[in-house]
Amino acid sequence: MNEFEQNVQSKRNDATDSAVGFSWSFGFFAILFIIATVIKLIGS
């Protein structure tokens, strides 16, 4: 048996980690889009 399978460092679910990563990246790009839209509206 693999030694890494016996000594697991993190027992958290991978789906939770991927959902958190997706939501952070989605929120970041949504904020960038909102800021760009506000700047465009102010400039016009």
pLDDT in tens, 1-44: 678 777 778 788 889 999 999 999 999 999 999 999 999 999 98
Angle at 32 between CA 26 and CA 37, to 5 degrees: 125
What's the pTM value of the predicted model, to 2 decimals?
0.65
Which residue in this structure is represented by tokens 């102010």?
A: 42
pLDDT of residue 18: 95
Give whole-number Cα distances, 38 to 21, 32, 33, in Å.
26, 10, 9
Measured distance CA(20)–CA(3) in Å, rounded: 29
pLDDT of residue 13: 85
Residues 6+ apart with CB under 8 A from 37: none
Look up residue 13 and give its amino acid: N
